[in-house]
Amino acid sequence: MRLRPAPELAPLRRAEPLRPEIPAPINQGAGIEPELRVYIAGENRVQTMKFEEYLQGVVAAEMHTDWPREALAAQAIVARTFTLQKIADEGGVPQRGAHASTDIKEFQAYDATRINDNVRQAVEATRGQVAVHGGRFIRGWFHAYSGPRTAEAREGLDYRGANPPYIKIVDSPAEGVIPPEERYWQASFPLSRVREVVRQVTGRDPGNITRVEIAKQGPSGRVTRFRVNRTKISGPQLRLGLGSTVMRSAFVDSVTIEGNNLKMTGRGYGHGVGMCQWGARALAEQGKNAAEIVHYFYRDIDIAKFW
């Protein structure tokens, strides 16, 4: 019997990712870069600009412009995705008659005066690239520094829906690059201020505060519930009420009452969900490219090119 060689198997191909449609209000056809109506905060006007032009101002405002280009490129992918997801799910900024806003409280930070060649090249290198999962744009949450690890959406943001499957707790690689003054924080708040915040958030007056303690922590170690006297308040809500630039995170290491003040120490800066910007810098310095950085912080996603 003469043996015949087995036929060669065709190489396995990864299935094309399920792609959402570009949101109808900005969809100008397949492969065509959309235009955005952007509300310019402070000038009370709406300006039309190309998507990538807008994105340059976002990346320049959201990340240090002298950081490694691959970190900036990762920020571009995430910010582009954030913008499309907000337009798809919420209509952008409908109260302004716009798709986006330069007011960080309404949308993302934006500062065209900070744009440099490093930013331009990072944005152009990822032109039209967007992170998707299951046929939808992912929620492109990001923050400055996660501390030792990132957070699930429920603990970091008090997110009410199911934790998105691509948001996982991952170790932050930032420890080797972030300076100590950025790594740790300490804060002091008058007890009268804490009492007012608790009353406003919960609708219950805790009375004269004699005790503040950590009531519950999430899987990453962040505080999800504080107990103020007998009143419980969400960790993220207390942080926002007291000021997120002062109580920098819910990754709290100590809580004490000293005289008429509440003292806290902790680690991290921001809600801790999604991409850690200092971690992105560290990965870029290790030689990772933008796609690898994005895949590190958002698991089981695809990066698709839309234009």
pLDDT at residue 14, as a whole number = 52
Question: What's the rounded mean pLDDT across residues 196-221?
Answer: 98
Q: What residue type is 2 in one-letter code? A: R
H-helix or E-strand spanning residue 119: helix 117-125
pLDDT at residue 187, as a whole number = 98
Exposure string over 201-224, b if 16+ CB within 10 A, otherwise e: ebeeebeebeebebeebbebbbbb
- Within 10 angstroms of residue 94's Cβ, the number of other Cβ atoms is 10
H-helix or E-strand spanning residue 297: helix 290-297
pLDDT at residue 16, as a whole number = 67
pLDDT tens digits, one per residue of 69-120? 999 999 999 999 999 999 999 999 999 999 999 999 999 999 999 999 999 9
**10-19, 25-34, 111-120, 184-193 — which is least confidently predicted?**
10-19
Which residue carries 């036929």 as its tokens? 7
Share of the chain above pLDDT 70, in %: 95
pLDDT tens digits, one per residue of 231-244? 999 999 999 999 99
Mean pLDDT computed over every residue of the chain: 94
CA gap 258, 213 in Å, rounded: 14
H-helix or E-strand spanning residue 190: strand 184-190
- Whole-model pTM over 0.75: yes
pLDDT at residue 15, as a whole number = 60
Q: Is the pLDDT of residue 10 over 50?
A: no
